[in-house]
Structure 1
Amino acid sequence: MQITLYLIMGIIIGMFFPIQASISARLSSYSKTPLTASFIAFSLGTLILLVINLIIDPIGITVGIDFSYPLYVFIGGAITGVGFNVANIILFSKLGASITTLVTVTGQMIVGILIDHFGWFGVQANPVTITRTLGVVIMIFAISLVQPKKKKDLTIASQEEKKDGKIIWVILGVLAGFLPPLQTAINGKLRVATGSILGATFISFFVGTIILATLILITQRRLEFPLYDTEKKRIPIWTYIGGIFGIFILTGNIILLPVLGSVLTTMIFLLGQMIMALIIDQFGMFNLQKRKIDSRRIATLVLMMIGIIFVKFL
């Protein structure tokens, strides 16, 4: 029963990913760089978490921190998180959305298996088995099934893609997929170092904010906070709240990793993402175009659940 509750929690948290992505995409349309939306989300998350920690658990971000842990424990989660964000921006322009999603998910599965098998970062070891491997393969196949096959998806980079060599970007995409499981595992270690889930989440957000601010200052020379669109109309207030969902996502990662392991945590999040993506498409939420749920997407959901069953219950 307890494991079922954790799985449900993982699905719900996974559903926050497309919501946050949709909000950030809307905010990005008003700024010069997609990093601005991430910076605003991280900044808001940092402020909210600071207030919550000071009220509920101030020790977790002050004297309760064990600084005997290696430096990567305190900054690694933020670096990998921001790194994946930047990598996605580049990969989308080189490979398109479909291939980027497929190769990064493949990378996530590979590293998730390694983290679980060897018990890296203090995660409970869960050796590779035939059923776990088959479950991962089913999950990757399910993700590939739902990706559109239209040529449009590959024309974003056009001639430049051929010049750079698509295979190189595919390899880099797989490597970029290594980052989210590493982020989750490192933040799990940070939880131990701080003795606080909220403290670990705050530190990760705070470091991420600094990194993003630095990147924007290097590339844009200044930080921007968009308030109006091109027609001088006020930007909807909801476009600024992506960081709130980010708090739930990161906190959920820290909670679920020790219980579910790296592979299952990633898979259950992906299932939640797919469910919410279908809901967003079906109802045209966040002013996006409506898309009816088709049989291919239903098959994808079924296959994803079968993959999870293979990994956890067989």
Structure 2
Amino acid sequence: MTIERVRNPHPIYFAGAFATGGLLTFMVHLNGELARYGNPLFSSWTAHGTGIIAAIILLLLIHRRGTPTLGKAAGAPLWAYFGGISGAATVILTSTAVNSPLGLSGTLALGLAGQVAFSVAADSWGLFGLQKRRPDPRDVAALGLVVTGAALIILFGRGAA
């Protein structure tokens, strides 16, 4: 992949990332509602249970099509299997936080700040097999703006905590 292609990705990637953010917001809201009527653990079990059912249906549909395989894929590293644990913890924690004074926007704002902070750290330390990349001033400025935006939403938004 050329450097120019990396710097100027196709607009569909931006649209997909934006749509994913909308779906994430919808998911956090629905999980929060499940937690409000049950509890955060029930919310996590329900979310992951419906995810398993959806994955099985998708696998059955793909298997029926007879998609060709390109040989045996290399085994994933052991740490890659811990995504389910972090997913379950994320659902439980956001289901709890969204029903607190933080509300949906405060929960998502702090979640975004945590994502950006962790990804800058993962890049700079080369975690999970990533190539080490020193944060440049733009990365630090972006992190500062996201954290400042989260603080503005939480402290001065309509539903200030």
Shorter chain as denominator, the TM-score bin is: 0.7 to 0.9
Match status 1:310 vs 2:131: no
Alignment pair present for 1:238 and 2:92 = no
Q: 1:286/1:171 Cα in 2 relative to 1: closer, same or farther (>3 Å)?
A: closer
Paired residue for 1:192? 36
Report the CA distance between 1:180 and its aligned residue: 1.1
Q: In the TM superposition, what are the counterparts of 1:51-90 in structure 2 within 5 Å? A: none
Q: Distance in 2 between matches of 1:208 and 1:176?
A: 16
Could you say which residue in structure 2 is the equivalent of 1:255? 96
Supply the distance in 1 between the matched residues of 2:95 and 2:47 (Cα, whole angstroms).
11
**Where does residue 69 of structure 2 map in the other structure?**
none
**Partner of residue 44 from structure 2, selected from 192, 201, 226:** 201
Q: Counterparts of 2:24 and 2:34 in 1: how far apart (Å)? A: 15
Q: Distance in 2 between matches of 1:220 and 1:262?
A: 38
Cα displacement (A) at 1:174: 4.0
Deviations 1:96-133 (A, max 9, x none): xxxxxxxxxxxxxxxxxxxxxxxxxxxxxxxxxxxxxx
Q: 1:297 maps to what in 2? A: 139
In 1, the alpha carbon distance for the partners of 2:142 and 2:7 equals 22
User: In the TM superposition, what are the counterparts of 1:172-187 in structure 2 within 5 Å?
Assistant: 174-187=18-31
Distance 2:8 2:135 in 1: 25
Deviation at 1:308, TM superposition (A): 1.9
Quote the offset at 1:214 in angstroms: 0.9
Ranked by relative contact order (alpha carbons within 8 Å, sequence separation 6 or more), the top structure is: 1
CA–CA separation in structure 2 for the residues paired with 1:308 and 1:155: 28
For residues 209-257 of structure 1, give each alpha carbon's deviation from its aligned partner in whole angstroms, at most 9, with x where no partner exists. 11012112212448xxxxx754xxx543222221011111111110110
Number of residues paired by the alignment?
147
How many angstroms apart in 2 are the aligned matches of 1:257 and 1:246? 16
Q: Within 5 A, what are the aligned runs for 1:31-180?
A: 151-153=4-6, 166=11, 174-180=18-24
Question: What's the C-alpha RMSD, in Å, of the aligned pairs?
Answer: 2.6
Asked whether the equivalents of residues 41 and 92 of structure 2 are also in contact (C-alpha less than 8 Å), the reply is yes
C-alpha change, 1:172 and 1:304, in structure 2 (3 Å) is closer
Q: Secondary structure in 1 aligned to 2:132?
A: coil
Query: Closer, same or farther in 2 for the Cα pair 1:198/1:240, shift >3 Å?
Result: same
Distance 1:308 1:216 in 2: 39
Q: Does 1:212 align with 2:51?
A: no
Q: TM-score, normalised by structure 1?
A: 0.42
**Residues 28 and 94, structure 2, Cα contact 8 Å, conserved in 1:** yes
Q: Structure 2 regions of 5+ residues with no counterpart?
A: 67-71, 157-161
Structure 1 counterpart of 2:107, one-letter code: T
Aligned partner of residue 293 in structure 1, secondary structure: coil
Correspondence for 1:27? none
Identity %: 27
Q: Deviations over 1:25-44 (max 9, x none)?
A: xxxxxxxxxxxxxxxxxxxx
Report whether the alignment pairs 1:287 with 2:129: yes
Cα separation, partners in 2 of 1:184 and 1:280, compared to 1, 3 Å: same
CA change 1:215–1:267 in 2 (3 A) is same
Structure 1 pair 155–219 and aligned structure 2 pair: CA distance change class (3 A): farther
- Rounded to whole Å, the distance in 2 between the matches of 1:286 and 1:240 is 12
